[in-house]
Amino acid sequence: MQIPPRSSPPRSIYGGSLVPVLIVVGALALSTAIFFLFTKKKIQSQKDAVAEAAGSTDSAAKSAAETAKSAAPAAPAKPPMVKPPEPPKPAPPAFAFARPLDLGRQLVRSLTTGDFATAGKLAAASDAEQSNSAAKLFEKLASMGYKPAGEDQVELLGLVENRTRITLPFVMAGSQETVRIQLDLERDEKMGWKVAKATLPKAMSSAIAAMPATSPAAAPAPATPGTPAPKTPPAPVAAASMKPLFTVEDGTDALTFASDFVRHLLKHDFNAARAFVDDKKVPVERLLGLCIVFEEGQYSLNPAKPLIVTIANPEVSWVIAQVQSESLQQNTEFGVELKRADTAQPWKIVGLNLSDILGSFAKSASKLGVPYTPIVKNPKGGESLALYFEYDRAELHPRALKQLEVIAALMKADPSKKLRIAGHTDEKGEDDYNIRLSRGRAESVKKQLAVLGVPAGQVETTGLGKAQPLSPNKKSDGTDDPEGRSHNRRAEIYLDF
């Protein structure tokens, strides 16, 4: 078997052609090494020289600057920034009044001593910005001749809405007439009672002009040419644009009107009280009967809660008057209804609800054996004044004498007035006897009026016996009713006004 010959290796790998390639590669490597060993080192030496030169220049400049700084005179040190002190905040009012009258009395004391600044602060505690104006007003009132009356004359007028009204009395030099400033107070949780509104009578209206009207305005800075005009500051708030603390009464409100009316009654001044009443709505007997109750019971307004406005509308108001009697040891009340056609018209009293006060007053007479209800419903309609008698007697009871004093004063004031007196009895006794007894009772009233100065021509009398009982003489079971009969032993007075 023949074996083929072995092939020879390629020349490109094992032959002489590989040597030149290796020489080229070695030359490249040698040149690269020479570059890194010599050329790069030279470049780095140049960079270091440049950096050293720059550093020397900076050091020289820094050294020169420090030398110049040390040679220059030292500048004065700036003082430390000091924050200006804030203006002190106004201290809150130091007033703390537990009762409305305490505030009013302290105000009167300040005005009496001429301390108008304190008076202004007291009046304007609810608006401190107005205290100076209030002080100026009080000072003006003093210059006009108004002086405060005694602090014991400060009065609690009543309650209207959520405020309590008190009055400060003033007198004009050389006059006995008293005028009053009304203060409406409200409760403040922090400072007790404070003034929410003050109303001056018209007689004091000129004092309002003394109150500063506006706050002074700062003059604007002059504008520099070429610069934009400064913004106009807001105008100062005028005192008149704020809710005024002091006002002048523009008509009597319901509470004041009712208060004046009740005060006339408490003075037993029937004629003055009648000017407040609409005669077509309130019988004159009812009004006079209320005067009699006040006279006999010596009533006065309850100082804690005298008058309360329960309904406050522009044309209709209801006021409750609370009164007390020390002699009778009673606290009671009566209602006053007021109306007017519109707000430009004056108020008129069109109703008096006397049921509570008459009921309380009648109880005080039970111990004396005779009723004492001065106003009664007449069986034929209307109302009349009633005087009561003991059983089978025609002599006047001491209580009746007091009533007749009030009636006599009214009759003497106007001789044209007339009145009629009708005597009555209970059902005990014969008819003829009762007629004579009832006439005797009417005549006893007429004689007493004559003693008090009422001319006989102004009085008419009649006797009606048992014909017009006010109450049943017997109970429902047919037995005698002594209390009912006591109401029938009377003389009724009808005022023909």
Q: Which domains does the chain have, with CATH numbers?
A: 100-210+242-248 (3.10.450), 254-363 (3.10.450.50), 366-496 (3.30.1330.60)
The pLDDT, as a whole number, for residue 270 is 83
For residue 322, give every residue at least 6 positions away whose Cβ sits within 8 Å of its Cβ, in sequence order, or none.
301, 302, 305, 306, 307, 308, 331, 332, 333
pLDDT, one tens digit per residue, over 383-399 is 888 898 999 999 998 87
DSSP H helices in 125-253: 131-143
E-strand spans in 18-150? 146-148
Top pLDDT among 221 and 477 is at: 477
Measured distance CA(487)–CA(250) in Å, rounded: 48
Residue 299 has pLDDT above 70, yes or no: yes
The pLDDT, as a whole number, for residue 487 is 87
Top pLDDT among 210 and 109 is at: 109
Residue 54 has pLDDT above 50, yes or no: no
Nearest partner of 464 among 420, 422, 419, judged by Cα: 422
Give CA torsion, residues 425, 427, 431, 434, to 10 deg: -20
pLDDT, one tens digit per residue, over 170-189 is 999 888 888 999 999 998 88
Distances (CA, A) of 206 to 141, 143, 202: 9, 12, 8
Mean per-residue pLDDT for 160-179?
Answer: 89
Measured distance CA(402)–CA(496) in Å, rounded: 21
The pLDDT, as a whole number, for residue 42 is 55
Residue 64 has pLDDT above 90, yes or no: no
Residue 326 has pLDDT above 50, yes or no: yes
The pLDDT, as a whole number, for residue 454 is 93
Residue 86 has pLDDT above 90, yes or no: no
Nearest partner of 338 among 327, 323, 349, 324, judged by Cα: 349
Top pLDDT among 98 and 41 is at: 98
**Beta carbons within 10 angstroms of residue 307's beta carbon:** 24
Mean per-residue pLDDT for 416-423?
Answer: 91
CA 209 centroid distance within chain: 24
Segment among 221-235, 308-322, 472-486 with least mean pLDDT: 221-235
Measured distance CA(289)–CA(213) in Å, rounded: 51
- φ/ψ of 231, rounded to 5, equals -65, 140
**Beta carbons within 10 angstroms of residue 467's beta carbon:** 14
The pLDDT, as a whole number, for residue 348 is 96
Q: Mean pLDDT of all residues in the chain?
A: 79
User: Which letter, b or e, does each residue of 433-465 get, where b requires 16 or more Cβ atoms within 10 Å of its Cβ?
Assistant: ebbbbbbbbbbbbbebbeebebeeebbebebbb
The pLDDT, as a whole number, for residue 289 is 84
Give CA torsion, residues 291, 297, 301, 307, to 10 deg: -60
Top pLDDT among 296 and 164 is at: 164
Q: Model confidence at 15, in pLDDT bands (50, 70, 90)?
A: very low
The pLDDT, as a whole number, for residue 483 is 85
Measured distance CA(138)–CA(300) in Å, rounded: 31
Q: What is the share, in percent, of the chain residues with pLDDT greater than 70?
A: 71
Mean per-residue pLDDT for 116-141?
Answer: 89
Top pLDDT among 162 and 460 is at: 460
The pLDDT, as a whole number, for residue 13 is 43
The pLDDT, as a whole number, for residue 400 is 82
The pLDDT, as a whole number, for residue 5 is 52
Residue 345 has pLDDT above 70, yes or no: yes
The pLDDT, as a whole number, for residue 239 is 39
pLDDT, one tens digit per residue, over 248-280 is 988 888 999 999 999 998 888 888 999 999 989
Residue 77 has pLDDT above 70, yes or no: no
Q: Which residue has the tokens 């009030």?
A: 406
Q: Model confidence at 370, in pLDDT bands (50, 70, 90)?
A: low
Q: What is the share, in percent, of the chain residues with pLDDT greater than 90?
A: 41
Measured distance CA(97)–CA(112) in Å, rounded: 19
Segment among 17-26, 59-68, 305-314 with least mean pLDDT: 59-68
The pLDDT, as a whole number, for residue 319 is 95
The pLDDT, as a whole number, for residue 11 is 47
Structure tokens given for 40: 């790069």
